[in-house]
Amino acid sequence: MTTKPKASLTSRLGISTRRASARIALLLSLFHGPGLAEVTVKQVKEAGKSEIDMENPFVRLSVDLLHGARVTGFVHKATGHQWIDSGQGLFADHVWQQSWPGELYSVPYEARVEKTGPEEGIVTVWRVIEGAGQTDIAGVRVERTLRLSDDSPAVEVTIKLTNTTDGPRSVGYWSQHILNLGGPSDNFYLRPSARGLSVGEKVYRDGGRQQSWLGEEWVKDPVAGWSAAVNPMTGEAAVFVMDYNDLRWLYNCISSWTVEWYYDLLRMTPGREWTTNLMLLPLKGYKGVTYASKELIADLSFQRKGAGFTMLYNLGAGVRPVANVQLETELVSLPGRPTLARESKRVGALTFSPQQIASGLDLARARGDFLVRVHVSGDGLDHTFERSFSRKALSDHLIAEYPSARYLIPRPVKKKSLPRPSVLKLSPHNGFTVLELRGMFYPHWRIAQALGRGGPHRVQPAHFVTNVYGDRLDYFPAGYDEMLGYDVVVLEDIPVEAIGEEGLALLKDYVEAGGGLLVCGGWHSFAGGGYVGSGLEDVLPVTIGPSPDLHWHAQGLSLKADQRFLPVTLSSFAYWCQEIKGRKADSTVIVTAGDKPFLVTSTYRKGRVACLLGAPCGSPQPGQTGFWEDDHWTELLGQTLR
Amino acid sequence: MMNHIEGPTRVARLSAVLCFLMIACSTAIAAMAEPQGALTVPAEKTNHQVGRIIDDPGTESGKTLVATPGTDKAGYLIDQPYLLVPPGRYRVAFRLKIDARAKHSRVVVLRVGAVGDPHYRFIDRVLTTADFRRSGEYQDFELEIARPATEGKEQAQLYALVSWEGKETVRVASITVTPLSQPPVLVWKVWPAKILVRPNQEQTFTVDLAEGKGQPQQGCRIRIECVRDLDTVVAVAEQSVSLSPWEKKAITLKWNVGKPQYGYEARATALDAAGKPVDSTSEWFGVSDNSFRLRIASNVPFSFLDPNANDWTISEARKNYATVSELYAWSPGMFCNLYPRKEYWASGQVSEWRYNRTIMKSLISDLHKNGVSVISYDACWFNGAPGMETARQHPEWLQYNSQGRPMGGLDTSVWDIPGEGDEQVPLVPYSSESRNIVSAWPVDDKLMATAADEILLIGKELGFDGVRWDGHPIIWASPDEKAIPGTNLGTGIWRCDGKPLRDLVKDYDAQSLHNMRLIKQRVAKQLPTFEWGYNWGYDVTVNGLPKTWKECVSNGGVWVEGGFRTGDLAAADQKNTWEKFIESCFQSCQLVIREGGYPIHGAFTYTVPSTLRYTYIFSVANGGHPCISDGDNVLRDYYRFVLRYSQYLYDPAIEPWWGKPKIKVAGWCTYRDGMEPKIPPVSQEAAVAGSRPIVWEKLLFHRKTSATTMDTILHLVKAPAKPYMDFTDLDDPPIQEKVKVSVRRPAGMKLDKAWCLSPDQPNMGEPLTPLVSQPGWMDVTVPRLAYWDVVVFQWRKA
């Protein structure tokens, strides 16, 4: 006879182990605070006021339904500190097509209370963008769901955008949070970038009478989805975690205490929905943040020991406590990257209050700059992060150095999910149809005249815009139906960022299905366009050289067409030519400029691809003609397009 | 960047046309017998286009004319009485009240005038809510005007208008016309042709006279004098004149202004046959060898597509004593594309603004005839259609970032618009300035020479007198390549071949100096008096490029932008104290003045008259030339005052009473004075006692005028109601009277005279009676401190 193993206390009480440990950790961490371990949700409606108040053992927040459904009150119970000054707020909805404060910031929202506790409270708020005069965004519904649970400090949020209209929409969502972790001590803003940990600092001097800021506000090369604000004096931290696959840029307006980020531009077919999750973790006990995720918050700091320093790990739980945590660390020298030392440590359980663990690594082995790579594992935990340090910056007070080009972290490829048809096929249509993405100096390529030589055609233009908000196109197909309806797509000096990951996926599939692609050069294409490592390079007949790849040939390089492929006689010159790394095996050079390939073609799956490796720029020498003014240029281009 | 003021061009034209039509068509002309006293026309007897007559027991007639937003349209609340009066001087009083005074708002424009006078078309005054003492109380607002007889008639036209803005409920009870004087010879205007004259050049005065009694006037004389400094009278000319009954006559006299600079009062006096003065009038102008030094730039509305608007533009400029008109964002492109190659074009910077070359040349010519210096805005970037074409032809002239991309912004939809130069060309919809723009590479002599040649073209072909850079071709990079906020200076830049600037240029100061000298010298060869201004003086490049700074600031206008712009200081934030503001003004001015430059503060925002007035005063008192948006003409009297007494504000010999500061730029818009620990307490130099707080301690200066003479200049400013800049406050503390001022007598000197100068008094200046209350000190009592008095003590070696 077998005996059933004695059930554990927690299972006998019908509580999961995970939940039990969370509750125990909660009670332990709350021994100074209110003992109430449940969530409450209350609606407050008075004259001039409509709010939903949500509370759990960790935070108390108010959602102001009359003003953008922003969280306009936020008390972090561990410190008792109110994070929001009047007029500010968390989780403000914006779209990048509207400059701040935008349409949504101070308008009433609809709301629905989904759950009122005791284990979780869920509130959903929404509003449809009117976008007066902005056809790109009008009719997009913005919905935000906030969730508190009884066993976590995390405020979990889901954003959902829906195209409620009959037409395509392009919208860039942007999340903004204005919070003050308290002066008059400095606040730091920490973000993960390809150049290392990026830091901004709000500086208070002279008892707060003088304020200034240091560091960078924009991080246009994030490598992970998080952003943290920290007050090292009080140890209070606001860590925001968002989905890297949707993240475009991180931003802080340091003088105004904001934490913000921009999402990738969405091109939405009618009815399309897009969701993304984000989270706010209000924490205490941190002087800095090196790494953040839903499950783990980590920092590396230093403590003087004799003539040198000891490194300290500061590790804490994210959304819930974690058990059985272990560390494995490598100390790596920069440059060159030889591993100098390793260590492993058992940490045990991580709770919301960080644990400080001294490293045993001998930092003296690193004579110059070095990198620390840490792998943290545990129950449901598997994270790796790294951080570089310069020897001379080490101190007891180091929060972060300004990033430099000392070493670069490759940006992880984002995973996008687009509803893809099971069979990729160009859709039949009448007439020759071209999608022309018009970049810098586009009129001089003379695409319109080239097309005109071949008979009736239709051009769908899109225009390239680049400014402080980044690269974008004012139009791109939002889905496969539209994308597969073109005969040729022309990129006239267009960077991949403007097309976006979803757009690149569409474009690549389009070529694969048999579409034609003409890529024209310039400063915003090839190396300068971010083509290296993007899906677009896979499709091209050339491999891309290092930046800057557009070189000046002041005396001009004479153009010559290979008569076997293109019986056109050119008598003109190119002055700015794209230097490529090489040509792919199946490519064909149709036109040369001097001894350099100028027009190169190949096939990609069922599609055809051509590259014009230069720009229609420069001052012709006396007696010379720039190729863009050559009598036969449009003939050459027309034949290439058709 | 300055705001572009379009001005009420259409409104002005409309009002002029309407007035003319009303005069032509009106059946309500009230011919008046020679007035014995004041004539009051109650509102219900006037002509009004908008508003309604209602009962009001608070008025003499029991009725009032009311206009209420939502009920009445904006427009001419009153467009008559249209009166015929004997030639003479008149005061017109408008009796109005408002219902609410909670916030700043423009209420009405009062206007008195006559049709047909190109220079004094009318006298006008904007009333805002701040002008009313309180709501619900009738108040009189007065305008004075001199009217000669209408041609061929015995009487003078005079009309009164009240134009309602449609924003606040206003009630008009009556208009009262009071004759002030009817002299036999009315000097109704003296007009200096030029508001600003260069030294040793000719000024032309036109004096308009009118016979006022209907009798021949024989043996009269007209005397013209110019008054400068405090009370130095310079005789200009005197000639005899005779007038037939009601005759109008204009006399023109020329005068070489000689060497002395700064402000003048031109005074024309009519003397009867017995030599007794019977009437007198004045106007003001200035003399300077550099227009930046006497830069008074207020609202100068201009329209480059309407040739008929020139008169209006000039008239407004002269009313505001504008000595400089800076034309902002007018050109088809910057740097290498300033000069318009076509007759019509759109601004490369603000795509909605359209221009015509012929009209522009004529306006600049007219401005020059009036002595107004015309300065072009410029910057070292490529923008607009011609700028982009230059960039396409010369990519080697562009700046690049580390990824090899040109540094700037792009919007290729702009190129869908067919080329510029066509009058009918559809304009690029305005969404932001310079949608296509790329910065210029700063290490290329050919590029700099091309930029200089463009400046020469606009100077020679269009008549521009100078350029004020908003980004001149200097270079600087900090070791960590962090950009200075608001600029792209400091950040790394790369050449078209990928080489970073820091590897190509080892001495940024030398290269920057080379660039500036190349441009200046190339221009000076053909335009030796061309003037230069900059946007500089508030970031660490001042310390980083000392030789270039010295070269540029000397005799240059320096727009000190940082910290004074709307976004920086225009919020009612208790941390934005007046003390901080005054200190900023002082330090930023001294940084420039001590190097021989002329500081410009820009741009001050206008939210309420009180804050505007104080920001203006504190800038000017420190030697600054504010650039402000004064759409309600709050400060017209101040511009006149500043011009007239400019030597007590802008003479480079003026320095703080304790000596010369040593100002360094410590960070973005942050300064440090190396002399600060050594500054003695001001109490050892002066004392001021008033019934309420007065700001003066940091506004005490000395001015050495010769080896044996000097001035003490003390600015008294009635302290603002709040210690911080409140951009919503309508009210100021009350006027103070009998303010006691004591200053230490400089050793070995005795007092020549003491004067109180003030824009708040109609005569702008009066002598004071000094007393000695204790040895070594001189005391005066300033009779009245409304807002700002400048007390000047002139000393001479004993």
Q: Are the C-beta atoms of residues B794 and B748 closer than 8 Å to each other?
A: no
State residue A565's pLDDT score.
Answer: 87
- How far off is chain B from A278, nearest CA to CA, in Å? 31
* Interface contact B410-A551, CB threshold 8 A: no
By C-alpha distance, the chain A residue nearest B494 is A548
pLDDT in tens, B573-604: 777 889 989 999 999 999 999 999 999 998 78
B365-376 mean pLDDT:
95
State residue B323's pLDDT score.
Answer: 96
Encoding tokens for residue B615?
């920001």
Closest CB to B393 among A438, A465, A618: A618
- Dihedral of CA A367/A373/A377/A381: which sign? positive
Closest CB to A523 among B405, B575, B670: B405
- How far off is chain B from A404, nearest CA to CA, in Å? 9
Whether chain A has a CB inside 8 Å of the CB on B413: the answer is: yes
By C-alpha distance, the chain A residue nearest B500 is A548
State residue B482's pLDDT score.
Answer: 63
- How far off is chain A from B629, nearest CA to CA, in Å? 24
- How far off is chain B from A403, nearest CA to CA, in Å? 10
* Interface contact B409-A468, CB threshold 8 A: yes
- Burial class of A550 by CB neighbour count within 10 A (0 to 12, 13 to 18, 19+): buried
For residue A208, give Cα distances in angstroms to A253, A521, A596, B233, B774.
18, 52, 62, 55, 44
* Interface contact A548-B411, CB threshold 8 A: no
SS3 B615: helix
Say if residue B649's pLDDT is above 50.
yes
Closest CB to A440 among B410, B432, B575: B410
Local confidence band at A8 (pLDDT 50, 70, 90 cut-offs): very low
Neighbours of A3 (CB within 10 A): 5
Local confidence band at B349 (pLDDT 50, 70, 90 cut-offs): confident
Encoding tokens for residue B408?
């700037």
Name residues 494-513 of chain B within 8 A of A (Cβ): 494, 496-498
* Interface contact B412-A615, CB threshold 8 A: no
Look at A608 and B407; give whichever has higher pLDDT.
A608
Whether chain A has a CB inside 8 Å of the CB on B400: the answer is: yes
A338: which DSSP letter? -
State residue A459's pLDDT score.
Answer: 96
Whether chain A has a CB inside 8 Å of the CB on B579: the answer is: no
d(CA A48, CA A54) in angstroms, rounded, equals 19
By C-alpha distance, the chain B residue nearest A443 is B415
Residue B569, amino acid = L
Q: Measured between beta carbons, which residues in chain A are less than 8 angstroms from residue B400?
A: 523, 548
SS3 B648: helix
Q: Measured between beta carbons, which residues in chain B are less than 8 angstroms from residue A442?
A: 412, 415
Average pLDDT, chain A: 89
Say if residue B25's pLDDT is above 50.
no
* Interface contact A438-B396, CB threshold 8 A: no
Say if residue B217's pLDDT is above 70.
yes
Q: Measured between beta carbons, which residues in chain A are less than 8 angstroms from residue B413?
A: 438, 463, 465, 474
Q: Measured between beta carbons, which residues in chain A are less than 8 angstroms from residue B494?
A: 548
- Residue B396, C-beta contacts closer than 8 angstroms, at least 6 positions apart: A552, A554, B441, B444, B495, B496
State residue B401's pLDDT score.
Answer: 87
d(CA A370, CA A386) in angstroms, rounded, equals 10
Say if residue B35's pLDDT is above 60.
no
pLDDT in tens, A349-370: 999 999 999 999 988 888 888 8
**Count of pairs with CB atoms under 8 A, one residue in A, one in B:** 85
Look at B3 and B83; give whichever has higher pLDDT.
B83
How many C-alpha atoms does A361 have within 13 Å on its Cβ side? 30
Q: Are the C-beta atoms of residues A493 and A520 closer than 8 Å to each other?
A: yes
State residue B6's pLDDT score.
Answer: 25
pLDDT in tens, A156-175: 999 999 999 999 999 999 99
State residue B11's pLDDT score.
Answer: 38
- Residue A476, C-beta contacts closer than 8 angstroms, at least 6 positions apart: A170, A267, A437, A462, A499, A500, A503, A506
Say if residue B24's pLDDT is above 60.
no
- How far off is chain A from B261, nearest CA to CA, in Å? 42
* Interface contact A527-B497, CB threshold 8 A: no
Count of positions (residues) in chain A: 642
State residue A36's pLDDT score.
Answer: 58
pLDDT in tens, A247-266: 999 999 988 889 999 999 99
pLDDT in tens, B312-331: 888 888 989 999 999 988 99
State residue A501's pLDDT score.
Answer: 87
Whether chain A has a CB inside 8 Å of the CB on B188: the answer is: no
B432-461 mean pLDDT:
93
Q: State what percent of residues in chain A have pLDDT above 70.
A: 92
Bridging pattern class, strands A266-268 and A169-171 = antiparallel
Q: Measured between beta carbons, which residues in chain A are less than 8 angstroms from residue B498?
A: 547-548
State residue B427's pLDDT score.
Answer: 58
DSSP H or E segment with residue A465 = strand A457-467
Average pLDDT, chain B: 88
Encoding tokens for residue B63?
């009725």
Local confidence band at B83 (pLDDT 50, 70, 90 cut-offs): confident
d(CA A276, CA A268) in angstroms, rounded, equals 15
B499-528 mean pLDDT:
96
pLDDT in tens, A276-292: 999 999 999 999 999 99
d(CA B782, CA B791) in angstroms, rounded, equals 8
Closest CB to B392 among A444, A466, A554: A444
Closest CB to A528 among B405, B411, B482: B405
Closest CB to B410 among A465, A528, A616: A465
By C-alpha distance, the chain B residue nearest A214 is B482
pLDDT in tens, B596-626: 999 999 878 778 999 999 999 999 999 999 9
For residue A464, give Cα distances in angstroms to A525, A637, B235, B408, B594.
12, 21, 68, 13, 48
Residue B450 phi, psi (nearest 5): -65, -40
- How far off is chain A from B726, nearest CA to CA, in Å? 18
pLDDT in tens, A532-581: 888 899 999 999 988 899 999 999 999 999 999 888 889 999 999 999 99
pLDDT in tens, A175-231: 999 998 875 567 899 999 998 899 888 776 666 555 667 778 899 999 999 999 999
Residue B244 phi, psi (nearest 5): -80, 170
d(CA A196, CA A411) in angstroms, rounded, equals 11
pLDDT in tens, A381-434: 999 999 988 887 787 777 777 666 567 888 888 888 777 888 899 998 888 999
Whether chain A has a CB inside 8 Å of the CB on B403: the answer is: yes
Q: Are the C-beta atoms of residues A437 and B410 closer than 8 Å to each other?
A: no
Closest CB to A442 among B412, B668, B670: B412
Closest CB to B404 among A440, A523, A554: A523
pLDDT in tens, A77-134: 999 999 998 778 999 999 988 888 899 999 999 999 999 999 999 999 999 999 988 8
State residue A6's pLDDT score.
Answer: 38
